[in-house]
Chains A and B, each alone.
Chain A
Amino acid sequence: MAFKRKETVIEAIDLNTITPEDGEKRITAGVKKYATNEANWSNADANTPYLGSIIGMGIESSNLADITMSIERQFLTKRTKRVPVSADGSEFKLEEGELGKLRILDGQDALAATPGLSIKMLMDLGHMPKNNAYLTKVVSFAYITTVGDGYKLSDALKKMVGKIEKLAGSERDEAVANLKAMTAQAKTYLDQLSDAAKLAASRQKTFAGDKAGYDSLSKELGVVTDKLKGLSASGDAAQIASLRAEEAEIRTRLKMSAAKLRVSEEVARQAGSRSAVEEAKVAEIKRILSETIAAAERC
């Protein structure tokens, strides 16, 4: 039986006939029912994160897939022709074909943390024409997460300052020690933010970890391949079949590892340079956090 969707019927629109700004508005409207922070959702722009409640729309992790599915439902694309990329046809890429339903494949939305980044994703995947003027207004994933961290730090510091004012004696002393540690952490964050190269270096660590994981898995595959080579003359059919299954599983894991590596590589690359809109976001969080640090140091 075909599954009957319960939501309102949405008339999907060809991505090639709308402006990025129109697409962005439709995307934001589409996630309304998942947003738990109404104020942030109402004032959302291209750079408002879907997740998080301080500056984000407050969408919960259980509705992450709904963001992507909502985008898929609203738009049509010409990239609908499935071209197999694996021998068994289980994996495919989408190429130009008849106008049809938009399909976002596993992992393609990993960096689409805001409506603007969702539009960028659609442009990168060739579903809509590239619009550089629009993209200059979009903050990269690396800076969305970094700036988001700053707001969280500032929020935590403010709450701690408020808490300390009500405490006395040894409780206050311990809370002040915590506040000092948080202030030091905030200063380190500000220092890192002062230089794009420093931020890139810290993101590079994640990339290096992912790269080591990928290399390790490649070695694991090498060992299984060697075992298969060594066993091929033995005629042990059961063992060969078991190793073939293990080899296929490692190849699948290797593809996943490569996909994850591409994400961390992209984030490390993005962190190394700043556009004007990113500079503005960085300046804003630096100002806010500096004020909070000053208030904390008065405690």
Chain B
Amino acid sequence: MAIRERLSGNEAISYAIKQVNPDVMPAFPITPSTEIPQYVANYIANGEMDTEFIPVESEHSSMSATIGAQAAGARSLTATSSCGLALMWEELYVAASNRLPLALCLVNRALSGPININCDHSDSMGARDTGFLQIYAENNQEVYDNFVQAYRIAEHKDVMLPIMICQDGFITSHAVENIELLEDEKVKNFVGEYCPENYLLNEKQPMAMGPYAVSNYYMETKMAQNTAMNNAKKVILEVGKEYGALSGREYGFFEEYRLDDADYAIVIIGSAAGATKDAIDLLREQGMKVGLLKLRVFRPFPDEEIANALKHCKTVAIMDRSECFRGKGGPLGAEVKAALYDYAKDVKAFNLIYGLGGRDFTVADAKRIYEDLMAYDKDGQAFEEYRYIGLRG
């Protein structure tokens, strides 16, 4: 019997952390993720979990300590946002290339400058090439569910990669909403014990971790990371299905909302999917065939699956909540368009930038996008290949 609760996104992931009870959590505070180490520290102080909490002096240190603990053989995690993730940069690559399945609870926030504390995806999108798995959430429920699944995916012997569990800063992290929690025992049984094959504190098997790799070896390690990333696709689906049997909420690479017969579709990540769903229901009542693909897994990137889900659509708007300054669109736009080029060339796709630095995304915004997609298709109304929406009038 699920537990009916009301929690913010930060409380929800902290509760999942408590239930998983990992071994080590080093952390340094940064808005809007600060509450996560706060809640965890409270749980530890109250004797509700026995994770070793390590306060450190920077995010470079928090990721370094997480890497060290994980390498030693401990199930480890940290939390951060925005510039905190940026300060971890070189360590992110170290975690991935050393094949350490640690978890990073990321609360998405814009990068400076101008300095801004609100949500966009520029932090995690900037880290898309680090070798971390990346899973995104629409709301507090999905953040909770994703964290419970995180170690099962990351620690799988065919994967062994660090995982980033992302949620939208403030929009999800600080909004109190209804949620269904699993009982502690169910979570513990689902996640299981961490039994690393190779770890530094194994005195029977002395080993070096993170040694220098000359040109004769470096390239193979990258190839191996990429193979692991590809392997993760199967594991993510298996774990998502098993979690569905446990909780009634099954997860895949993405959620399709009224997409199977849609002529016009939006591809979006995170909390803005909710407003899009409300817009879809309103437009469907007027007979418009509109739908949504809400991407959950960005690394590995499910390109063929996305293209197959969109191939019957006439026009598609790919929504990016970060800018990558290539002058032609954002990172999600580039990757979805590449997928369409390979598997569904006939779909006309546009790339829209929205929601930077916490700019709100409303039901009216989503409706207007669908109406524009239809007007382009039916009346030949102009639609820029790449544009910003929601700018000040």
A and B interact physically: no
Which A positions have Cβ atoms within 8 angstroms of B? none
Which B positions have Cβ atoms within 8 angstroms of A? none
